[in-house]
Amino acid sequence: MILILLGPPGAGKGTQAERIVQTRGVPQLSTGDMLRAAIQSGSPLGQKVQAIMDRGDLVSDEVIEQIITARIREADCAKGFILDGAVRTTGQAEMVDRVLKNQERSLDVVIELAVDEDELVNRLGNRIDEAKAAGKPVRADDNEETFRKRQAVYRDQTAPLIPYYEKQGKLRKVDGMGTVAEVASAIDAILDEIAAE
């Protein structure tokens, strides 16, 4: 199963992807996590992207193409994978379509998690509190100003993917305002339906 989770920052993409890894046995490909790991390691890629991520902008499509194409060639992606926040521009969507076509594969479904902006800001606050309580570092882009910027970038550059995937007949919308369990059950119903096709 090849699945894209689409939704604004804080919508719950990572939370749901981690759960799907456990229930469906396919890996989670989070470009955000991969880029943060590169920053952490001090690699040339990390040095290149740090300032961009810290101010809430998107890294270039070229960088994402390199990361994604290398990752989906790995053996554990043979049976499918979850692209968690990994497709954010029309250029990236076209690149993923092209790479999959070359491998004679295609996307199964794109699940859009829809959440109001006020709720997203609440969730950001919770995530910051949770990180502090656990003695973990707070993400450099998790402050209200940068978070608002990330929401604006989502509206401008990523939301156009909704009509893009609607046109392909791949888009399914899930109300992301419910509890984690409610959102999970709505996603599971879609994934079960697709698995049965």
List contacts with ligand AP5 (CB under 6 A): 7, 9-15, 30-32, 35, 52-53, 56-59, 64, 85-86, 88, 92, 123, 126-127, 130, 141, 150, 178-180, 183
Q: Are 69 and 99 in contact (CB under 8 A)?
A: yes
How long is the chain?
197
Euclidean distance between CA atoms 197 and 113, whole angstroms:
22
Residue 170, classed as helix, strand or coil, is: coil
CB of 148 to ligand AP5, least distance (A): 12
To ligand AP5, the closest distance from the beta carbon of 42 in angstroms equals 17
Indicate the residue whose CB is closest to ligand AP5.
Answer: 32
The torsion angles phi and psi of 182, rounded to 5 degrees, stand at: -65, -40
Min dist. Cβ of residue 59 to ligand AP5 (A): 4
Quote the least distance from Cβ 101 to ligand AP5, whole Å: 19
**Rounded-to-integer distance, Cα 186 and Cα 159, Å:** 21
CB nearer to ligand AP5: pick between 41 and 196 = 41
By beta-carbon proximity to ligand AP5, the closer residue of 16 and 109 is: 16
Compare residues 105 and 127 and give the one whose CB is closer to ligand AP5. Answer: 127
Q: How many CB atoms lie within 10 A of CB 10?
A: 26
Residue 12 DSSP class:
S
Tell me how far, at minimum, the Cβ of 179 lies from ligand AP5, in Å.
Answer: 6
Residue 158, token pair as written in the block: 């990523």
Burial 25-46 (b: 16+ CB within 10 A, else e): ebbbbbbbebbbebbeeeeebb
1 vs 15 by CB, closer to ligand AP5: 15
Q: Which is nearer to ligand AP5, 133 or 196 (CB)?
A: 133
